[in-house]
Structure 1
């Protein structure tokens, strides 16, 4: 590849310097060459070589302000802040209008967590610099450290007014809008930005994200599509477009978008899983299962992949296979309440009541306080003859659902089964007060209780005249 003149000179300087280190010969470099060599090694994380270059540079150019500023940068990097500040004060006495001195002062105060002081130095740097964009960007970061998102946003916007191509500032300004819960305002800002820079794939992609967050899926899909037109290898844009198209129920288009990510890079388990879900929505069971299997092959530790296969087999009423796969998911995450609920439901469908009871118990233990979970659990306990445990569970459920007739009727039924008439009638009365029509719960779940004439008479007394 043909290198431009500056790049050739830069590479020659590096080669010459490394040759000097190997041979112990001393070559002459101008101060700017030394600065580039030092910054190259710092960027590469080779601090020892950077320090060697700085030492040699200062020996050849003891009065170079540029090299001394690089020295300050290295002292700050090593947390030698007092030494760095002392050197900056010496440089300030020589060059009081050098913006880099104020930028480095700001850097020191930022390191000391005195961010307001850092901003003051950056404001002074603005008076002397020609690179306003860089200083505004640094100010934005200081305001972020101070949690002043509004001023941070303003600084990043000013940075972009100076340098529209600054991608980090673009990401940061969107971050500020989102943090301030100003998503609609962020979209308006990006529209203006795109008017100035229509080929910014980042701006289109960020617009898509914001539209998606506002549930404007059509606009989101269009924005992601435009981002992918500008950069045909923008994997994130294809992935996000797939998600938006799924929301729009355009499953075939979503599949194509997800598949594009696989063409561009190694397949991700997420993309494979989404493709499988889309095929399932289209009713293509064969392709759906194929992609679910690809998902777990790609990432055997992705519990969501195993759950997708579990749900697939539940819908097919193939509970034996569903049980096998839900156990795979639980082996990865055994504290997931939703997985335990599936485990319980599958075992219940197979009439494995003890296993089902265990599953519902674990689901509640890990935070599933949905009413139907409590009710499924106690109904299993009833079938297992565990009346006392069922009562304790229902009393616990009543703390979450204090005015729920489903709970009250069941408590009444269990107390009647244990011949605790007073408690039974108390809860039966509650159930009838809350929802008379559904007293059939007693008939359905506790037929032997319903057969008692005293119970039927009690219910009849509470019947409201129509």
Structure 2
């Protein structure tokens, strides 16, 4: 005959677990009150053992069939173990027992959210709002649903409702920044964070997000001030230090940025991205040995970081070690084959090595992946022109103009090529277009073909637009 023991509220959590496990070993039947069962379930959840936690919920439901809490916890464990239909059934039973329990609708809403059944998720969250005492997390969950629906305006609305309930909800502050970013509404973002800071001046997260918004508007000095406040409030805030360094880079304050990047290592382990950023700063300072050392640290930590392989190539190119640089450029391209900057560097290195065909192939890639790169089109056509391929050079510029119809430099270059080919009437037509687009840039024509300064038709046409 099985013995029955009663373990109640006064047992400490560890004691309840020990008694439960003893019951299983002895195949006895002990009685636990609801509080003890909750402790035992929570213990297995914290140990990341949902199967055992689920087993406890079954015991708890058998002893306390009218306690909805255990059906809710059972539904949570069914969800964790990917038994979605059983989770819904457990919640339906809980709702029959206690229809005013907000957690039922919150959990059901989360399940629907995971299934991408967004209207049903929102319906359940709305129901929970009428029942819950604290609603800030529910508003935030609703915001997540709207984000996944790509309805960022409503997401912002619900995040703000969440923050009204709980100003210390940092997740809300970061999600709000994300939504403003997607909508490209940095001015609104700044206005919100400034108002928020007026209410809570010691929120490091608000200062940090304000700094990010300033950075995105290229207001780097203001961004640095905001990051400084975030750091003043939370000295070990590594992300604020890192982003402050990024803003310093934009102001060409590379030496200061290096010190700040290195300072982040006091608060978090060094990572490949930070090593790469330091390498780029040293590169800008033309301290190539230091730059290369940090790029190498970066690729050692993360061999798949294309920018660092590229950076090594850049340092070698600077030292006119073009053949060696190509090896590293190609490693970068192996990782990021559609990066136009990488192909531009490859094209330039091949050109400097006299490998013209390879250079032209690489320029074709640059203009394919970034048809808005004016310099690439100009360089591409220059190489063709130098090889005596005047028609191909002009055709290349014609393609460039299709992609960049507002670029005066391209029209001026076309003028030069057409004059070189003897197509004077066409050249003068393009000269008119170039001057209408930007007359102040006419000097680039003479930089490329100085002899045109002696052409009276060209000079008269230019003077007409400069009056």
Which TM-score bucket, shorter chain as reference? 0.7 to 0.9
Contact 2:40-2:56 at 8 Å conserved across structures:
yes
In angstroms, what is the RMSD of aligned CA positions? 3.8
The total of aligned residue pairs comes to 439
Partner Cα distance (1:330, 1:106) in 2: 45
| Cα displacement string for residues 321-360 of structure 1 (whole angstroms, at most 9, x for unaligned residues) | 4344334433433432222222222232333333322322
Which position in structure 2 is the counterpart of 1:409?
416
Which residue, out of 210, 213, 221, partners 2:213? 210
Contact 2:371-2:403 at 8 Å conserved across structures:
no
Partner Cα distance (2:301, 2:387) in 1: 41
Contact 1:72-1:87 at 8 Å conserved across structures:
no
Contact 2:54-2:78 at 8 Å conserved across structures:
no
Which position in structure 2 is the counterpart of 1:171?
174
Contact 1:375-1:407 at 8 Å conserved across structures:
no
Contact 2:231-2:241 at 8 Å conserved across structures:
yes
Look up the SS of the partner of 1:130 in the other structure: coil
In the TM superposition, what are the counterparts of 1:92-107 in structure 2 within 5 Å? 95-104=98-107, 106-107=109-110
Which residue, out of 361, 364, 367, partners 1:361? 364
Which residue, out of 446, 457, 464, partners 2:460? 464
Q: Which has the larger radius of gyration?
A: 1
Return closer, same or farther for 1:217/1:364 CA change in 2, 3 Å cut-off. closer
Partner Cα distance (2:136, 2:445) in 1: 73
Which position in structure 1 is the counterpart of 2:89?
83
In the TM superposition, what are the counterparts of 1:8-407 in structure 2 within 5 Å? 9-42=12-45, 45-74=48-77, 78-80=83-85, 83-84=89-90, 86-91=92-97, 95-104=98-107, 106-107=109-110, 110=113, 115-116=118-119, 118-282=121-285, 284-386=287-389, 389-390=392-393, 392-400=395-403, 404-407=411-414
Greater CA drift, 42-51 or 58-67: 42-51
Partner Cα distance (2:298, 2:305) in 1: 8
Contact 1:409-1:441 at 8 Å conserved across structures:
no
How far apart are residue 87 of structure 1 and its match? 1.4
How far apart are residue 435 of structure 1 and its match? 6.6
Return closer, same or farther for 1:162/1:363 CA change in 2, 3 Å cut-off. closer
Partner Cα distance (1:300, 1:261) in 2: 22
| Cα displacement string for residues 21-78 of structure 1 (whole angstroms, at most 9, x for unaligned residues) | 4443443322233234335545655332122111111122222222123234445662
Return closer, same or farther for 1:131/1:37 CA change in 2, 3 Å cut-off. farther
| Cα displacement string for residues 208-248 of structure 1 (whole angstroms, at most 9, x for unaligned residues) | 22222232323322332333344443321221121122233
Contact 2:384-2:392 at 8 Å conserved across structures:
yes
Look up the SS of the partner of 1:464 in the other structure: helix
How far apart are residue 281 of structure 1 and its match? 4.0
| Cα displacement string for residues 234-282 of structure 1 (whole angstroms, at most 9, x for unaligned residues) | 3212211211222334333322211122343332222122223333444
Partner Cα distance (2:131, 2:427) in 1: 83
Greater CA drift, 52-61 or 258-267: 258-267
Partner Cα distance (2:458, 2:107) in 1: 83
Which position in structure 2 is the counterpart of 1:419?
none
Partner Cα distance (1:442, 1:151) in 2: 55
Partner Cα distance (1:333, 1:102) in 2: 45
How far apart are residue 388 of structure 1 and its match? 5.6
Which position in structure 2 is the counterpart of 1:421?
none
Partner Cα distance (2:95, 2:71) in 1: 12
Return closer, same or farther for 1:290/1:409 CA change in 2, 3 Å cut-off. same
Greater CA drift, 238-247 or 281-290: 281-290
Which position in structure 1 is the counterpart of 2:6?
none
Partner Cα distance (2:180, 2:459) in 1: 59
Look up the SS of the partner of 1:300 in the other structure: coil
TM-score using structure 1 length? 0.78
| Cα displacement string for residues 99-140 of structure 1 (whole angstroms, at most 9, x for unaligned residues) | 334445545665676645554554444444322333333443
Partner Cα distance (2:145, 2:204) in 1: 27
Return closer, same or farther for 1:398/1:186 CA change in 2, 3 Å cut-off. closer
Look up the SS of the partner of 1:187 in the other structure: helix
Contact 1:200-1:227 at 8 Å conserved across structures:
yes
